[in-house]
Amino acid sequence: MKFLKSLFYAFRGTVSCICDQRNMRIHLVVGTYVLYFSQFYHLSTERICILWLIIGIVLALELLNTAVEKTCDAITREQSELIKIAKDASAGAVLVMSVVAVIIGVYLFFDMKTVWRIISFLCNTPEYLTFFILSMLVSSVFIVVGPRKFVENIKERAELRKQLDNMNEKKEKR
């Protein structure tokens, strides 16, 4: 039972980070696209495992960065040089790994023939191009707005509609 609770808490922490941290959403979206487009490269099992590992490390570091920032904020909101260094260093860890991930990505994926094959595939298959464009739009909203704010906006609009409906019903009864 303790194991299941710990899994629940870990999942809750990950979801909370995704909902609250724009950079986590960016890493998640980029990682998803990288994994999707990697299928066009016919990578070996080892290289696919390296991709998963690198994406996992970037996401894990973003989780740790959020943990450091939240812990520092819980300790004090006052200006502190040590807190600033801790927050900057944890953000720097994510940056360093992200740059390394990009360098490895360029090494694995810089093949203009395959890039043109992907572009040609998308352009010659309207349904995939449409799906890709829609996925980019949804991904952009996911990154910028985030799932929590999106749901809150939907709830606010529903409440406003209820209020308007109630007002209209009252007017009709008069």
**How far is it, in rounded angstroms, from Cα 7 to Cα 89?**
28
Q: Which amino acid is residue 86, in one-letter code?
A: A
CA dist 118 and 17 (Å) reads: 32
Cβ partners under 8 Å of residue 148, min gap 6: 19, 20
Side chain identity at residue 174, one-letter code: R
Looking at 111-146, list the stretches that DSSP marks H as alpha helix, in order from N- to C-terminal side. 112-124, 126-144
pLDDT band at 155 (very low <50, low <70, confident <90, very high): low
The pLDDT of residue 131 is 94
Residue 62 designated active-site: yes
User: Cα(122)–Cα(37) distance, rounded to whole angstroms?
Assistant: 11
Domain extents in the chain: 2-111, 125-174
The structure's pTM equals 0.82
Just give the CATH number of 2-111. 1.10.287.3610
Tokens representing 58? 């970037």
The mean pLDDT of the chain is: 91
Give exposure, 61-75, as e/b (b: 16+ Cβ within 10 Å).
bbbebbebbeebeee
Express each pLDDT in 66-98 by its tens digit. Answer: 999 999 999 988 899 999 999 999 999 999 999
- pLDDT class for 49, splitting at 50, 70, 90? very high
Residue 146 is predicted with a pLDDT of 87
**In percent, how much of the chain has pLDDT > 90?**
74
When pLDDT is averaged across residues 20-38 and rounded to a whole number, the result is: 96
**The one-letter amino acid at 166:** N
Tell me which of 15 and 163 has the higher pLDDT: 15
Q: Which residue has the tokens 């023939």?
A: 113
- Tens-place pLDDT, residues 132-148: 999 999 999 999 988 87
Question: Which residue in 62, 78, 81, 127 is the catalytic one?
Answer: 62
